[in-house]
């Protein structure tokens, strides 16, 4: 099963409503998660099999974009938060998360 756009949109709504994140922050998280989703679709049949190496590969795949360290950190935080949300909300029974 691929990471669904619906799951991402639900998480973004959670960030806006429950966490009170600013619109710009939510937009950045949206971009991060949709980029990661597209990357995973190329290398994995199931998103629940995502590994820490996949996150590293994702960041390396963006290397041509000359990402600032703060941007790289935010992308990792976006992914970590999304998977934590899926687990906390009972939306996924994951054996492990790709980011610790």
The CATH fold assigned to 5-88 is DNA polymerase; domain 1 (1.10.150)
Helix (H) or strand (E) holding 20: none
Per-residue pLDDT at 4 exceeds 60: yes
According to the model, what pLDDT value does residue 97 have?
61
Closest CA to 21 of 74, 95, 90: 74
pTM (two decimals): 0.85
Of the chain, the end-to-end C-alpha distance in Å amounts to 22
According to the model, what pLDDT value does residue 95 have?
58
The string of pLDDT tens digits covering residues 40-91 is: 989 876 777 788 899 999 999 987 677 888 999 999 999 999 988 988 888 7
How is the chain split into domains, by residue range? 5-88
Q: Tally Cβ neighbours within 10 Å of residue 76.
A: 18
19 pLDDT tier (thresholds 50, 70, 90): very high
């Amino acid at each position: 099963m691929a990471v669904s756009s619906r799951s991402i949109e639900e998480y973004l709504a959670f960030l806006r409503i429950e966490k009170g994140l600013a619109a710009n922050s939510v937009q950045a998280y949206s971009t991060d998660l949709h980029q990661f989703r597209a990357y995973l679709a190329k290398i994995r049949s199931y998103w629940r099999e995502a590994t820490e190496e996949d996150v590293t590969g994702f960041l390396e795949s963006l290397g041509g974009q000359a990402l600032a360290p703060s941007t790289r950190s935010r992308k990792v935080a976006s992914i970590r938060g999304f998977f934590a949300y899926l687990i906390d909300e009972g939306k996924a029974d994951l054996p492990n998360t790709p980011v610790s």
